[in-house]
């Protein structure tokens, strides 16, 4: 299966409007954002667990990254409420479930082979730091070998300088509306911009909070 598999092209998806796809486990559904492979795939997805859903034990030979968007996610290692950021490193294993149901943003098989950090961050209580321009705040989540992941909070009517992303950029809009000269992106929009893409982002009256990953498209697709 190949979905948005040309990483040299920009991809924009309104994840609210696209259809759910069944997984092999009853009660677990997925919305595909990008995917290279079938059930074992390099993939970015929105994943929904119905209440009392249990996913069978499995390993992540090339890592798993999760941001809990709604509800409460859990596994044998802990319970993760809305706003929790999780990194399960290469060769880790778990048996995930959700008692009350949850929705997740998930990236699979996209870790550097030497990135072995296990990360658990409650973004509801973690400190924000001033950004590079007034009205911008940043919450770093993870950095490894030139790949950075963070939440960025934009106050209303904030403008950022035009800039280039040599290693590409990926954004998921968590709150508000994000803008640049190419378009407007409301809550639930996923944007993947290729290497050396350029833009001048800003917000209007709504402000925005976004998940941002940069530098990861510098890696070859055969990381897995």
pLDDT, residue 38, reads 80
Span 129-223 CATH architecture: Sandwich (2.60)
Cβ(176)–Cβ(154) below 8 Å: yes
CATH superfamily placement of domain 19-122: Jelly Rolls (2.60.120.10)
pLDDT, residue 219, reads 64
- Domain borders along the chain are 19-122, 129-223
Q: Is the pTM of this model over 0.85?
A: yes
What pLDDT, in 10s, does the model give residues 30-86?
Answer: 999 999 988 777 999 999 999 999 998 878 888 999 999 999 999 999 999 999 999
Distance of alpha carbon 195 from alpha carbon 177, whole angstroms: 24
What pLDDT, in 10s, does the model give residues 4-46?
Answer: 999 999 999 999 999 999 999 999 999 999 999 887 779 999 9
Cα 123 to its chain centre, rounded Å, is 14
pLDDT, residue 41, reads 78
Cα 78 to its chain centre, rounded Å, is 20
């Amino acid at each position: 299966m190949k979905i948005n598999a040309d990483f040299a092209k920009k991809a924009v998806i309104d994840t609210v409007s696209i259809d759910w796809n069944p997984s092999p486990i009853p009660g677990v559904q997925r919305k595909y954002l990008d995917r290279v492979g079938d059930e074992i795939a390099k993939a970015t997805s929105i994943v929904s667990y119905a209440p009392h859903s249990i996913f069978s034990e499995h390993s992540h030979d090339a890592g798993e990254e999760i941001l809990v968007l709604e509800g409460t996610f859990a596994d044998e290692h802990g319970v993760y409420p809305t706003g929790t950021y999780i990194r399960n490193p290469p060769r880790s294993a778990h048996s995930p479930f959700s008692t009350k149901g949850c929705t997740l943003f998930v990236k699979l098989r996209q870790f550097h082979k030497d990135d072995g950090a296990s990360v658990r961050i409650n973004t509801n209580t973690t400190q924000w730091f001033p950004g590079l321009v007034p009205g911008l705040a940043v919450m770093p989540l993870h950095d490894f070998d030139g790949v950075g992941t963070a939440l960025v909070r934009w106050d209303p009517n904030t403008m950022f300088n035009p800039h280039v992303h040599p290693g590409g950029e990926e954004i998921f809009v968590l709150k508000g509306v994000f803008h640049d000269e190419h378009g407007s992106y409301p809550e639930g929009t996923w944007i993947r911009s290729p290497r050396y893409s350029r833009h001048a982002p800003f917000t209007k009256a709504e402000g925005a909070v976004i998940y941002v990953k940069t530098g990861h498209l510098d890696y070859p697709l055969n990381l897995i």
